[in-house]
Amino acid sequence: MTKKPSFDRPHYVDEDTETVYLAAGSWGGAVAAPFWVEEFFPGYKTVLLSSANLKKKIKEDTQEDA
């Protein structure tokens, strides 16, 4: 079982592929991303995206589910 993130960080979780997509707005955020994913989503892969590409990914995946 995974913990719920304790703070708001732009992300999208794909349970099918066990991948967490994160928007990283800074170098520090990009470096910390894999550690954040491991803490809250153990065993999942980390994919860094720009904010715009994260929104695009979410939109694409939610349209596929509809």
Q: Does residue 17 belong to any structural domain of this protein?
A: yes
Q: Does residue 54 belong to any structural domain of this protein?
A: yes
Tally of structural domains, the chain: 1
**17 vs 62: which has the higher pLDDT:** 17
Q: Does residue 5 belong to any structural domain of this protein?
A: no
User: What is the number of helices (H) and of strands (E) in the chain?
Assistant: 2, 3
**45 vs 65: which has the higher pLDDT:** 45
pLDDT of residue 4: 61
Residue 1 has pLDDT above 70, yes or no: no
Per the CB < 8 A criterion, the answer to whether 24 and 30 are in contact is: yes
> How far is 16 from 36, CA to CA, in rounded Å?
20
In which band, very low, low, confident or very high, does the pLDDT at 35 lie, cut at 50, 70 and 90?
very high
pLDDT of residue 52: 94
Residue 8 has pLDDT above 90, yes or no: no
> How far is 3 from 8, CA to CA, in rounded Å?
13
